[in-house]
Structure 1
């Protein structure tokens, strides 16, 4: 007899990087060129020294179990950052909660707010999307509805594709701004429209903002809580924002972030997390206090990305349909012909360069896969490696 498992696990799709491995399994990359990968969005700039110093200074804290709610010092450091960054005043005790990176929290929020006993329980996602959204929804027992990005509007999500009947079944909406993969930032009017839909139908908005500190315009991207405050929604009703130190401070291995917003929702989320075993390590909390309290390393990090993008983007624009994004560390480029998978396979075989086909980041919805015909380029390596990758793409494309 086979052992029992959760049948919802069978509904999960392979992760994009696993699908890419399968699609390139039979390819032998050109051995004459060193391997370069622009496939995974893993920050590779140096981490600030202050984080390591804080870890070393807090080793004695490992002698005690941490509280799931985090230390007052960490919650206050996060609240202070929200005030400096967005001009927000939040209650550090009830409207802020540290999490072990935004990824685990984005998954866990669906398990907290979705009620699968309600007929047609639905989670709405942008498309393309971060696959955690879909997996979280399916494992929570919900169906997934997708709203496609519109390339004619700088890849803004067309929420009008979700009809009233679907909104009425919706319990959770995932928003990503700045977006992955396009880097598009949602304007205030779009936030207002989503808040009005949330008020009408009662769903929760989970705002994924982990790319908020890497941007290329003079004005920093608008955040979800900031938008709510500007619209007089200071209680952040049905809204939780998620962010992380991974991209901001180049410490993806630290697994540190926070959620902030609706106090009633965070109370339930804390209850779930207490049972789930989600307390943050004391040394990670100490390091996080140091990181959230310092902006100098963030300014330096942003300058590094701006310099890279300023050189790489016009180079690639010679051969690909690509433009500087609003924010984030990806370029979302259209390939010269429609087959993004074949383009990625050829690039790997001939130039030993890995990129992520856009169709792997999206689902067929409303008659189209909105990622098809595009590739995502993660400019996370140093400037020299990113420029070398760009030159290889130019050479490959011109040879076509």
Structure 2
């Protein structure tokens, strides 16, 4: 067996199941889960129809690079969304959802033979980053978010010695679980560091189309273009249809950016067997070409956040995120015990924040917080918020923590 498998920690939801073992949920409260970030809005009919209309593609071996139609649809969407021109043939590659590609890019770019090979990622973070680093033979370094700066990652606090060993940096903007969006000055800092040390930036932007302000979140490709980095050197952007179009089961997204990296990644994926099925490619192309369903989807999330926050804010330290569909709330007391108690008393599932982070320097930046995914229908989210408020109002929780 690969000995590196022993380095992998249990996934957050495995920890959650273990935490909830032995809990008897109250029969009078129907179960509501805010624990898993799985989109629950209906898949648009036109996407389902496109998938069904191309089932003859099941008889064809697909190419890793994907069809010209899909790559052009992805490139055109990036142009409309971010104002960046992409060459669909050299700078775009379809992927089977962002998760598998975010894992695979570490296997492509990390050279484990170099002493001290390091992969930097945010903390809290999406656990795929850590697993990808470890299985590629690198050491992960966790850069903590700063609660005083709207949970922005404190990249400047990463020691220079760490950057010197870094081969890959994972960025998540909008962030999971915090919803923080990176501004242009932070992108400039990371680009400058990448130029100095030669590492690749993998920008995970799968939550980019769920936002609440007047302007959509700044993306990595957009930031590079604004800063004159028109070749997107050492930058790869990862996105997905899962949240944008409510098709998590379609397993479809794309990666774009530095043409040299795209060529290397295509070569790796050809051997890995990562080609997207023709029916999925056809459905994906029509999804990227339509924005009406995305606007409707965004409106549904905005309605839920507008309804839930007034219920929670009197009893919890929680704010509207920059983007995404998570609330990142401080808990009165231990986050894991809060999660277990909430399930036991009111049959609502939330994810302890400490399960999404790693202790570094004696501090776990997720401790004392919970992640709530507002993916259920509006009525369920409101009911869950009312139960959480009731739980927080019990005498044992009446003393709110300081923000």
Q: TM-score, normalised by structure 1?
A: 0.98
Take 1:190 and 1:314, find their aligned partners in 2: how far apart are those partners? 32
Paired position in structure 1 for 2:383: 388
Take 2:162 and 2:170, find their aligned partners in 1: how far apart are those partners? 14
Displacement after TM superposition at 1:28 (Å): 1.1
1:227-250 CA distances to partner (integer Å, 9 max, x unpaired)?
A: 000000010000000000000000
Which one of 340, 356, 369 corresponds to residue 374 of structure 1? 369
Take 1:345 and 1:331, find their aligned partners in 2: how far apart are those partners? 18
Displacement after TM superposition at 1:63 (Å): 1.6
1:99-135 CA distances to partner (integer Å, 9 max, x unpaired)?
A: 0000000000000000000000000010000000000
Q: Secondary structure at the match of 1:54?
A: helix
Paired position in structure 1 for 2:156: 160
Q: Secondary structure at the match of 1:110?
A: helix
Which one of 168, 171, 178 corresponds to residue 175 of structure 1? 171
Q: Secondary structure at the match of 2:120?
A: strand
Matched positions, count: 395
Paired position in structure 2 for 1:247: 243
Paired position in structure 1 for 2:400: none
Take 1:122 and 1:224, find their aligned partners in 2: how far apart are those partners? 21
Paired position in structure 2 for 1:268: 264
Paired position in structure 2 for 1:53: 49
Paired position in structure 1 for 2:74: 78
Which one of 183, 186, 192 corresponds to residue 182 of structure 2? 186
Displacement after TM superposition at 1:66 (Å): 0.4
Take 1:24 and 1:62, find their aligned partners in 2: how far apart are those partners? 41
Take 1:367 and 1:198, find their aligned partners in 2: how far apart are those partners? 28
Displacement after TM superposition at 1:166 (Å): 0.7
Take 1:128 and 1:273, find their aligned partners in 2: how far apart are those partners? 28
Take 1:36 and 1:280, find their aligned partners in 2: how far apart are those partners? 34
Paired position in structure 2 for 1:118: 114
Take 2:286 and 2:274, find their aligned partners in 1: how far apart are those partners? 21
Q: Secondary structure at the match of 1:312?
A: helix
Paired position in structure 1 for 2:348: 353
Displacement after TM superposition at 1:56 (Å): 1.6
Take 1:89 and 1:138, find their aligned partners in 2: how far apart are those partners? 35
Which one of 209, 223, 233 corresponds to residue 219 of structure 2? 223
Q: Secondary structure at the match of 2:132?
A: helix
Paired position in structure 1 for 2:210: 214
Paired position in structure 2 for 1:13: 9
Is 1:299 matched up with 2:283? no
Take 2:21 and 2:27, find their aligned partners in 1: how far apart are those partners? 16
Moved over 2 A (4+): none
Q: Secondary structure at the match of 2:4?
A: helix
Paired position in structure 1 for 2:64: 68
Is 1:258 matched up with 2:254? yes
Is 1:344 matched up with 2:339? yes
Which one of 199, 205, 213 corresponds to residue 201 of structure 2? 205
- Using the TM superposition, name which of 22-31 and 138-147 deviates more: 22-31
List gaps (5 residues or longer) in structure 1.
Answer: none
Displacement after TM superposition at 1:336 (Å): 1.8
Q: Secondary structure at the match of 2:393?
A: helix
Displacement after TM superposition at 1:62 (Å): 1.6
Displacement after TM superposition at 1:367 (Å): 2.5
Take 1:38 and 1:57, find their aligned partners in 2: how far apart are those partners? 34
- The two structures, once aligned, show a CA RMSD in angstroms of 0.6
Displacement after TM superposition at 1:161 (Å): 2.2
Q: TM-score, normalised by structure 2?
A: 0.97
Displacement after TM superposition at 1:154 (Å): 0.0
Take 1:366 and 1:85, find their aligned partners in 2: how far apart are those partners? 39
Take 1:268 and 1:314, find their aligned partners in 2: how far apart are those partners? 49
1:372-395 CA distances to partner (integer Å, 9 max, x unpaired)?
A: 000000000100000000000000
